[in-house]
Every structure is written in C-alpha cells, then in structure tokens.
C-alpha cells in the first residue's frame, strides 16, 4: 500500500472541514478525489502532506506513519504536492525553480531531461522568471518542480485551475505519460471527465466526507455522479 488514510479529520480555527475520511492509493495506481468547490478536497490534501495538522486520524505512506509530519519532511520521503495555487518562486527563473525542486540535492541531469521532454515549453523558457509565464506554463512548471524531487507519489490539487480546455487536456496528457512510466498519482479535480480518463479508481467527496467510491467505470455509470459531475441529466 502506497498511501493509507484512516479516519482523517482536519480544518481551521472555525472547526473541522473534513471528517473521518478513509481512502487509500495502491502503488502504480492513479486515484481521483472528485467534489465540488468547498467539498474539502484542498483541506484533505493539505492535511495529508503536512501543510495542516490533522485533528484526528492517521496517514501512512509505504507503511510509515506520517500523521502530522511537517511538509518539508514529507516531500523528502517521496510525496510531491502540486497545489492549485502552484506556489512557484515568481522572481526566480524556470531553471532555478526546477533546481529547487531537487532540494537539498542538486538537480540530476536525467530527471531534468525527463521533465524537459515532458514539458518542452519549460526548456524554451528556462531563463525566464516564473511570474512572466502564462497560467498553463506555470502549471507545467509546478508539475515539473514537483517531479524534480523524484517522488514515488505525486499529489495534485486541481491541476486544471484557471486553464483553458486545451491546456487542461495537455496537463492530463502529461499525467497519463507519468502514470505509464510507473508513477503513482493522486489528484483532486472538479473537471471530472479528464480525471476519470486518467484514474483507475475514485472517491466522491461531499461536505468533507467520502460519499461514494469505486473504479472509474463504476463511478462513470453511477446516476448521481453522472448527474452532479458529468453534466448528464
């Protein structure tokens, strides 16, 4: 088991946003967590990767308990997180952003060329400050930076935020290639059709709790899911 989350509850000063959430990710899988705005996807992910301390429950990564571990230590264990807001280093160049992804080491040539092959646009703009790039390019850079740490699990929070449909599809195309290469992927998404095409399994998060789970095919044929997330009446 790559990631196992049990009974996780987390939130902010005003109270918990997610309650008693259970889910897991097997090695080599792509798993999606779908839900509308405010369902608690971001809070859930932040508490899994250590940007937020859970108020209850456990998180295990490859059999090790990482509940409440600080984010900077979690990433060194092999989980990279791409937040919806990207959190790039705006005045630093594409190259510097990528190099920092490999912190505390130096970027190795092999990983760099894998990232550049996946996102050729980054190679073209390597000396450009991150802030001057378009939304789509920034998303590629955020994903590239996350990959520089050579993670075994890549966690993405709504990678299509603010992207035009074509660029959103490109981002998922890249994720598809990474999955074929053996990377385990966990993604939260509102644009369900894209996530569904990528994922083996999925969970539906509503009001901070898991409402449904199943393979992508099962979820795609579920009338409630079709109605709420796939736009089918």
Binding site for other proteins (CB under 8 A): 51, 70-73, 75-76, 80-81, 83, 86-92, 96, 99-101, 103-106, 145-146, 148-149
- Closest approach of Cβ 210 to other proteins, in Å? 25
For 222, residues 6+ apart whose C-beta sits below 8 A from its C-beta are: 212, 214
Strands 15-25 and 184-189: unpaired
Nearer to other proteins, 33 or 146 (CB): 146
Nearer to other proteins, 80 or 216 (CB): 80
Q: Which residues pair with 206 in a beta bridge?
A: 209
Q: Which residues of 172-191 are buried (b: 16+ CB within 10 A; e: fewer)?
A: bebbeebbeeebbbbbbbbb
- Closest approach of Cβ 97 to other proteins, in Å? 8
Nearer to other proteins, 111 or 216 (CB): 111
- Closest approach of Cβ 131 to other proteins, in Å? 9
- Closest approach of Cβ 221 to other proteins, in Å? 36
Three-class secondary structure of residue 1 per DSSP: coil
Nearer to other proteins, 105 or 165 (CB): 105
- Closest approach of Cβ 39 to other proteins, in Å? 21
- Note the helical H segments in the chain: 41-49, 71-77, 94-101, 109-118, 120-124, 135-148, 165-180, 192-198, 216-220, 223-229
Nearer to other proteins, 88 or 210 (CB): 88
């Amino acid at each position: 088991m790559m990631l196992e989350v049990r009974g996780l509850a987390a939130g902010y000063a005003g109270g918990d946003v997610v309650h008693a959430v259970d889910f897991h990710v097997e090695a080599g899988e792509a798993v999606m967590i779908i839900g509308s705005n405010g369902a608690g996807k971001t809070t859930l992910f932040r508490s899994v990767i250590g940007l937020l301390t859970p108020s209850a429950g456990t998180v295990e990564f490859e059999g090790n308990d990482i509940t409440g571990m600080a984010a900077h230590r979690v990433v060194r264990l092999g989980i990279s997180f791409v937040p919806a807001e990207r959190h790039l280093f705006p005045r630093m160049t594409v190259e510097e952003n990528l190099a920092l992804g490999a912190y505390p080491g130096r970027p190795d040539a092999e990983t760099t060329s894998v990232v550049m092959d996946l996102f050729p646009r980054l190679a073209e703009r390597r000396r450009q400050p991150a802030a001057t790039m378009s939304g789509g390019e920034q998303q590629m850079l955020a994903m590239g930076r996350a990959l520089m740490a050579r993670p075994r699990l890549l966690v993405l929070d709504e990678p299509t935020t603010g992207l035009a449909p074509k660029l959103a599809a490109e981002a998922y195309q890249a994720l598809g290639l990474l999955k074929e290469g053996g990377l385990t992927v966990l993604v939260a998404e509102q644009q369900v059709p894209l996530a569904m095409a990528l994922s083996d399994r999925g969970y539906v998060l509503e009001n901070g709790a898991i409402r449904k789970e199943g393979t992508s095919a099962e979820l795609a044929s579920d009338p409630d899911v079709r109605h709420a997330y796939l736009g089918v009446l």
